[in-house]
Amino acid sequence: MSFASSSVSVLNGSLAWSMGNGGEGRFEILFPMTLGWYEAQPSTQFRVFEHRKELTGLRHEFIVLEFNDDSICRIERMGDPRSRFDALSMDGSVARDIAQCFRSEHTEEAHLHTSEVVSRILLDSSMDLMDVLKICRAIHEAEKTRNYTLRGFNCYFFALTIQVCLIRHLAEWQRFYTPPPWLSEICGSVAMLADELQRQSREQTQQSFALLSSVSSIEELQVDELFKDIEKRLEKLLLDIGDRTKQAISSELWYTELDRIPHQILENGVRLCVLSALYNCLKTFVDESLDREAKFRGAVILNWLSMVADKLFGIDLACITTGKHKKSRPAPCLWKSWRRYILRPMDYRPPTPQIDLDRRQQVEGLTLAQWWAILWLNLPGVISWLLWLFHHILGTWGIPLMTGTSPKPCMEVIDRLEHILRSHRFEDYLDTKKPQIDILLDDLVNKYQEGAAIWDYTPWDNVLGLVKRISSPSTSLPNISFSHRDIPESPKTVFPSETQRQGGGSVVQTITCNSHIISVRDFQEHILSRIELQAKLVERVRLGSALEIQAELGRKMDEVWKLIREDDIGGFSSRLERFAARLGLLRPRRPMRVP
């Protein structure tokens, strides 16, 4: 029962906190981090790590790294014992992420005998403790995951995230990506798409580009040039889509999301092509027009398009159309592609099927304070259930207890834009402060995102419809699925398999388990099953919906994966620089970003 284990784990004798020198004492993982503790370790390289779970009590989970010199490091997340009730809130309490190293002659002090192995992973080449610390840093940097919550970001989440990020790096799915057949068909049909758009009726054109009609007549805006611009942008998109797809695959944590990536990149690219071409067409018209009213209307629509592109895609249309891109911070760098770690034996042990026994042990391990916390937390739900029951009982006798709510009002985007244009004048747009029009446009964009505003005919509908006719919606991402069999119902031991060779390089795809092949995908299935188990456990005590928690944990792990970067945690790139920093001769060049 992970949501209470960490809060009381400081009282658990199995944690065996040994306060000492030379990097053997308990170390709280905080950022920015000084590297004295890290450098005090005689060895930081490891080939084996374990995911372990306590056998009794609240089934606390943690990670154990087995260093090459036979010493070990226990890494786990706990809640702050001084603010246990804060962990019940959505914001949570301060998380205490703890690491403690034990020398080879003192490993019994870690009391690992009180826990069982959930999974054991052996790497063919060594990884470093710094790799794990970078995952911890990403956990601290991701939104919400820095704090400890009983609902989700507890010891379970911490242990699973470290595992899934380490193992995900073994699967270089982007190396096996091959453009799907429908992509080449689209590349050869760009000219046909442009001709099809030009052949459509005047009514269809006005319907698709209603934003242009609100500024001036279709003929005056030179729609033919707009179609040519769309064609050029689509050609450029299709030239770059392979590299974009590989980059997106590299940044994706879960294999279950891979199939949607090519279609998503294509669809978003088409939307952006049409938006930028439309923006460019309107910008040219506004710059050349002598009609004051048309210039005003065009400026408002340009602002609306910019807000839509910024909110939906995080893109500045002005930079795209002019080609003057703003300088931006480099994206967080994932581990370097040349670092390939080889997965060999994996001691995979599924959760015990004795669910009723686990539940009894969990209930018996609750303290009086935890019982009161659970009862207090469930009180609003009990009251809501009683009100619902009284409402239906009294309703059978014709006595309404609660009145029905009216449906949420919804507006049409084009009608709302036209209303904004009619109710304001050109002078209103010259205000040095933020114009009222911008406030209204921003509110309309937010409503469109939330579904409270409907855009019946978006400018990209026709283009996207033609593209979808060519690309089959059922097409999946080829050449990235690996040969594997189903995991047996009760596997006991995972044995090493020979590394597969593809393209002259060592590539990890699978390991064997009692003659069954287990791939990285299979390991992710194991992680996803444990996420589902945790979500159901949380729902059992009414801390939230299992489906919502399961989806949130998966998203947050993916966010952590994207935040892992290669720069040194301490801000120095070499041991010599770190030694100089200790003497006060050098300061960090790249301080770690902390939210």
What's the confidence (pLDDT) of residue 590? Answer: 38
* Local confidence band at 348 (pLDDT 50, 70, 90 cut-offs): very low
- Sequence-ordered list of residues with C-beta below 8 angstroms from that of 571, at least 6 positions apart, any chain: 32, 588, 589, 590, 591, 592
Q: Pick the closest to residue 93 from 4, 31, 11 (CA basis).
A: 4
Q: Pick the closest to residue 230 from 263, 205, 201 (CA basis).
A: 205
Which segment, 24-38, 149-163, 368-382, 475-489, is predicted with the most confidence on average? 149-163
Separation between Cα atoms, residue 67 and residue 44, nearest integer Å: 6
Find the range with the poorest average confidence among 114-123, 218-227, 332-341, 451-460: 332-341
Separation between Cα atoms, residue 2 and residue 154, nearest integer Å: 6
Residue type, 219: E
Q: Over range 223-243, report the average pLDDT.
A: 83
pLDDT digit string, tens, across residues 82-101: 777 777 777 778 889 999 99
* Local confidence band at 103 (pLDDT 50, 70, 90 cut-offs): very high
* DSSP tag of 450: H
What's the confidence (pLDDT) of residue 63? Answer: 96
Q: Pick the closest to residue 52 from 42, 43, 60, 40 (CA basis).
A: 60
What's the confidence (pLDDT) of residue 178? Answer: 78
Count CB atoms within 10 A of the CB of residue 183.
18
Which 3 state secondary structure label does DSSP give 301? Answer: helix
Rounded to the nearest 10 degrees, what angle do helices 261-288 and 461-470 cross at? 150
What's the confidence (pLDDT) of residue 409? Answer: 58
Separation between Cα atoms, residue 569 and residue 16, nearest integer Å: 27
Q: Over range 327-348, report the average pLDDT.
A: 36
What is the maximum alpha-carbon separation in the chain? 86
Residue type, 492: K
Which segment, 181-185, 257-261, 477-481, 578-582, is predicted with the most confidence on average? 257-261
Mean pLDDT estimate for the chain: 72
Tokens of 536: 């159901």
Which segment, 28-42, 77-91, 306-320, is predicted with the most confidence on average? 28-42
- Is a pLDDT exceeding 60 seen at residue 330? no
Q: b/e per residue, 284-314, with b = 16+ CB within 10 A?
A: bbbeebeeeebbbbbbbbbbbbbbbbeeeee
- Is a pLDDT exceeding 50 seen at residue 20? no
Share of the chain above pLDDT 70, in %: 64
- Sequence-ordered list of residues with C-beta below 8 angstroms from that of 307, at least 6 positions apart, any chain: 441, 442, 445
Residue type, 217: S
Instruction: List alpha helices for 335-427, DSSP H.
Output: 355-364, 368-396, 413-422
* Local confidence band at 13 (pLDDT 50, 70, 90 cut-offs): very low
* Local confidence band at 219 (pLDDT 50, 70, 90 cut-offs): low
| Measured torsion, CA atoms of residues 553, 570, 87, 547, in degrees rounded to the nearest 10 | 0
Find the range with the poorest average confidence among 72-81, 112-121, 230-239: 230-239
Q: Over range 221-238, report the average pLDDT.
A: 81
To 5 degrees, how large is the angle CA 503–CA 505–CA 508?
105
What's the confidence (pLDDT) of residue 133? Answer: 93
pLDDT digit string, tens, across residues 371-424: 666 666 667 767 777 777 776 676 666 666 555 555 555 778 888 888 888 887
- Sequence-ordered list of residues with C-beta below 8 angstroms from that of 140, at least 6 positions apart, any chain: 31, 97, 146, 594, 595
Residue type, 522: D
Q: Over range 195-223, report the average pLDDT.
A: 67
Q: How far is CA 442 from the centre of its chain?
A: 26
Inter-residue contact 312 to 267 (CB < 8 Å): no
What's the confidence (pLDDT) of residue 377? Answer: 65
Pairing assessment for the beta strands 500-502 and 505-507 based on DSSP bridges: antiparallel
* Local confidence band at 152 (pLDDT 50, 70, 90 cut-offs): confident
Find the range with the poorest average confidence among 95-109, 302-316, 522-536: 302-316
Separation between Cα atoms, residue 413 and residue 453, nearest integer Å: 6
Find the range with the poorest average confidence among 186-195, 248-257, 263-272, 324-333: 324-333
- Sequence-ordered list of residues with C-beta below 8 angstroms from that of 436, at least 6 positions apart, any chain: 424, 428
Separation between Cα atoms, residue 226 and residue 70, nearest integer Å: 68
pLDDT digit string, tens, across residues 458-488: 888 888 887 777 665 444 333 333 333 322 2
Separation between Cα atoms, residue 120 and residue 349, nearest integer Å: 9
Q: Over range 54-80, report the average pLDDT.
A: 91
pTM over 0.75: no
Q: b/e per residue, 142-176, with b = 16+ CB within 10 A?
A: beebbbbbbbbbbbbbbbbbbbbbbbbbbbbbbbb
Count CB atoms within 10 A of the CB of residue 103.
20
- Sequence-ordered list of residues with C-beta below 8 angstroms from that of 26, at least 6 positions apart, any chain: 17, 18, 19, 98, 99, 100
What's the confidence (pLDDT) of residue 218? Answer: 54
Q: Over range 298-316, report the average pLDDT.
A: 86
Separation between Cα atoms, residue 511 and residue 121, nearest integer Å: 11
| Measured torsion, CA atoms of residues 255, 518, 352, 110, in degrees rounded to the nearest 10 | -90
Domain range summary for the chain, segments of one domain joined by +: 2-172+337-365+490-564, 175-329+457-470
Q: Give the chain's radius of gyration (CA, Å).
A: 29
Helices (H) and strands (E) in the chain, counts: 20, 14
What's the confidence (pLDDT) of residue 499? Answer: 36
- Is a pLDDT exceeding 50 seen at residue 545? yes
Compute the 3-state secondary structure of the chain and give helix, strand, coil in percent, each to the nearest 5: 50, 15, 35
Inter-residue contact 5 to 367 (CB < 8 Å): no
What's the confidence (pLDDT) of residue 489? Answer: 31
What's the confidence (pLDDT) of residue 430? Answer: 57
- Sequence-ordered list of residues with C-beta below 8 angstroms from that of 326, at least 6 positions apart, any chain: 316, 319
Separation between Cα atoms, residue 120 and residue 163, nearest integer Å: 10
* Local confidence band at 207 (pLDDT 50, 70, 90 cut-offs): low
Separation between Cα atoms, residue 545 and residue 320, nearest integer Å: 42
Inter-residue contact 569 to 35 (CB < 8 Å): yes
Inter-residue contact 287 to 221 (CB < 8 Å): no
- Comparing 169 with 554, the larger pLDDT belongs to 554
N-term to C-term CA, the chain: 29
What's the confidence (pLDDT) of residue 162? Answer: 96
pLDDT digit string, tens, across residues 494-532: 322 333 333 333 344 443 332 345 678 888 898 999 999
* DSSP tag of 348: E
Q: Over range 240-254, report the average pLDDT.
A: 88
Q: Pick the closest to residue 205 from 226, 190, 235 (CA basis).
A: 226
N residues, the chain: 595
Q: Over range 36-56, report the average pLDDT.
A: 90
| DSSP states along 263-285 | HHHHHHHHHHHHHHHHHHHHHHH
* DSSP tag of 327: P
- Is a pLDDT exceeding 60 seen at residue 188? yes
